[in-house]
């Protein structure tokens, strides 16, 4: 392979391309290196220091997420010194982190929780002052709990690098540092698109979906990959269902054209599925104005008879068709073909452009 770089990670012969990092090559070769601030959708940040590795010839430990590979490099991902540093980092994070894992919405999918479990950290040995912030939920979709924030910067970076809104930023310094909005405004008073990208990037429970809260735990739901029905992009989404109801929507980072990214409709616009106002069978309006439930056979016959009557009496242009963005491309094609060929009019439109 042109430009191929050969190296060894934990004694295993690996290869990569110029510009790739140690972490990228390690993950491709199924070599585990812990991270907290890393998100493959974002530029490497190197803030959490959990991915520190030992590189032969280097003066000190290097962050695997930002260190590019070189020819002949020899890397060790786990030594007594490295594991001690990682454990200390986890203990320091937990020293100023709520211990409400039993009721946290991210329990089971929290990176910090997984790391504490892996390293056997039951509680932090470090005592001292802790933060006491209020819950920020002055909007209909996103709940922010600054007490659980680990300052990984993933929400800040995804909002800036991927969404382009720049809603979040770091405020204050040192112990008082926190992720906040401009002038500490509510998300409603910022350029926030409510796409929920910050939720998808958060590795802990600092950012969660309000409409999914209390509906189902990570291990308590069935997860089904499907395609978002809202537009023609074809984003891959994962439906979380419990008791035959959708309780949350996420997106797998390693699948589909969107690679984990979603808009506000794709992430939060699923309530229509179980809405009590959703039509589940055909209804025909009676002479007294009431709607009567009928079979599909009777409904189709009723529509065909009236289309034929209206077309005969008023002409084909008296009929118009409105297609749906929640149908497949094939279904919309058949619909417009029916309007143009069977009815004989070009009066056809699509709800996505209205």
Tens digits of residue pLDDT in 259-306: 999 999 999 999 988 898 888 899 999 999 999 999 999 999 999 999
CATH topology (fold) of 211-278: N-terminal domain of TfIIb (2.20.25)
Domains 4-78 and 211-278 alike in fold: no
**Model pLDDT, residue 279:** 87
**Model pLDDT, residue 354:** 47
Q: Which residues of the chain have pLDDT under 70?
A: 1-2, 352-354
User: Which H helix or E strand runs over 237?
Assistant: strand 236-242
Residue 112, Cβ neighbours under 10 Å: how many?
A: 22
What's the pTM value of the predicted model, to 2 decimals? 0.86
Tell the residue number behind the tokens 């990570």, with chain if given.
218
CATH node for 4-78: 3.10.20.740
Q: Are strands 12-17 and 321-323 parallel, antiparallel or unpaired?
A: unpaired
Please say whether the beta carbons of 74 and 6 come within 8 A.
no
**Model pLDDT, residue 264:** 96
Please say whether the beta carbons of 300 and 338 come within 8 A.
no
**Model pLDDT, residue 2:** 57
User: Which H helix or E strand runs over 7?
Assistant: strand 4-9
**Model pLDDT, residue 278:** 86
Domain ranges of the chain: 4-78, 211-278, 283-353
């Amino acid at each position: 392979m042109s430009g191929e770089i050969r190296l060894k990670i934990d004694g295993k012969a690996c290869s990569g391309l110029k510009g790739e990092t140690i972490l990228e090559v390690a993950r491709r070769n199924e070599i585990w290196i812990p991270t907290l601030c890393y998100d493959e959708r974002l530029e490497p940040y190197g803030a959490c220091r959990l991915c520190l590795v030992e590189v032969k010839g280097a003066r000190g430990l290097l962050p695997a997420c930002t260190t590019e590979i070189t020819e002949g490099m020899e890397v060790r991902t786990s030594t007594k010194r490295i594991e001690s540093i990682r454990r200390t980092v986890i203990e320091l994070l937990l020293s100023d982190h709520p211990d409400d894992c039993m009721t946290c919405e991210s329990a089971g999918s929290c990176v910090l929780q997984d790391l504490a479990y892996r390293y056997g950290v039951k509680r932090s040995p470090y005592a001292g002052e802790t933060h006491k912030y209020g819950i920020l939920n002055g909007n209909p979709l996103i709940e922010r709990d600054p007490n659980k924030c680990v300052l990984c910067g993933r929400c800040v970076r995804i909002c800036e690098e991927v969404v382009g809104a720049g809603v979040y930023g770091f405020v204050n310094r040192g112990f008082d540092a926190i992720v906040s909005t401009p002038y500490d405004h509510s998300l409603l008073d910022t350029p926030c698109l409510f796409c929920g990208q910050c939720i998808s990037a958060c590795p802990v429970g600092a950012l969660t979906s309000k409409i999914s809260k209390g509906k189902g735990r990570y291990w308590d739901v069935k997860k089904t990959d499907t395609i978002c029905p809202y537009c023609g992009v074809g984003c891959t989404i994962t439906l979380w269902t419990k008791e035959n109801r959708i309780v949350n929507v996420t997106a797998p980072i390693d699948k589909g054209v969107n690679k984990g990214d979603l808009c506000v409709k794709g992430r939060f616009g699923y309530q229509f599925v179980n809405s009590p106002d959703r039509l589940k069978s055909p209804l025909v309006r009676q002479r007294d104005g009431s709607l009567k439930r009928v079979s599909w056979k009777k409904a189709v016959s009723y529509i065909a008879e009236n289309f034929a009557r209206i077309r005969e009496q008023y002409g084909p242009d008296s009929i118009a068709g409105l297609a749906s963005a929640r149908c497949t491309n094939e279904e919309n094609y058949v619909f417009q073909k029916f309007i143009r060929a069977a009815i004989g009019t070009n009066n056809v439109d699509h709800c996505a452009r209205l």
